[in-house]
Amino acid sequence: MAKIIIVYYSMYGHVKTMAQKVKEGVDSVGCAEAVLYQVPETLPEEVLKKMGAPPKDADVPVIKASDLADADGIIFGIPTRFGMAAAQMKAFMDSTGGLWQGGKLAGKPAGIFFSTGTQGGGQETTAMTWLTQLVHHGMVYVPTGYHTPKMFQVDTPEGGSPWGAGTFAGADGSRMPSEFELERAKLQGEGFAKVALALKSADA
């Protein structure tokens, strides 16, 4: 059984909704199971209140760096801030120095999915700039590529790219992931689990 960790930050629920679909995809493969975690919050309560952030989910545990060590693969769910990852995600990665020194994540597959407010708001730059985290840990980036013919056909704005599944929250945050974006999130989970299983069996 391959254990896949899906670790995300989600202030308004878009990334969380995508994370649940990615999990569905991983779990559908058989011999693979995804576990959801959220990263610790770094903003003070009063700032969160001003930003209109709802309370965090009690049902998703908050991750510690050591939780990553026994994963067979890690998928990162990232909301965009100013064209790159939300600082909460980076703050969590900054707590993984011990794992990095011990090479504990080296060789593990890693995927990325994301959410921006708008088209052109930084879906690909968020993924690209996150690669530094993976490279320094020696992780193996698993993109989705054009994993469904529908990616060539969309005529309405849809989030995501060959870098990973994605969604648009809309300028006011009111848009929720579309059916196509959720389908891609599930496909990403499926494809990722297959790669993780192959790497795990090659390692056995």
Ligand X SMILES: Cc1cc2nc3c(=O)[nH]c(=O)nc-3n(C[C@H](O)[C@H](O)[C@H](O)COP(=O)(O)O)c2cc1C
Q: For binding to ligand X (CB under 6 A), which residues are involved? A: 10-16, 79-83, 115-118, 121-122, 169, 173
Name the minimum Å distance from CB 123 to ligand X.
8
For the chain, the straight-line distance linking the first and the last C-alpha, in angstroms and rounded, comes to 12
Nearer to ligand X, 10 or 105 (CB): 10
Angle between helices 14-28 and 179-203 (to 10 degrees): 50
CB of 78 to ligand X, least distance (A): 9
Q: Is 122 or 191 the residue whose CB approaches ligand X more closely?
A: 122
Task: Give the residue nearest to ligand X (CB).
Answer: 121
Closest distance to ligand X from the beta carbon of 88 (Å): 10
Choice between 122 and 189, CB closer to ligand X: 122
- Paired tokens of 122: 């930084």
Shortest Cβ 198–ligand X spacing (Å) = 30
Q: Which is nearer to ligand X, 82 or 146 (CB)?
A: 82
**Residue carrying the six token digits 């391959």:** 2
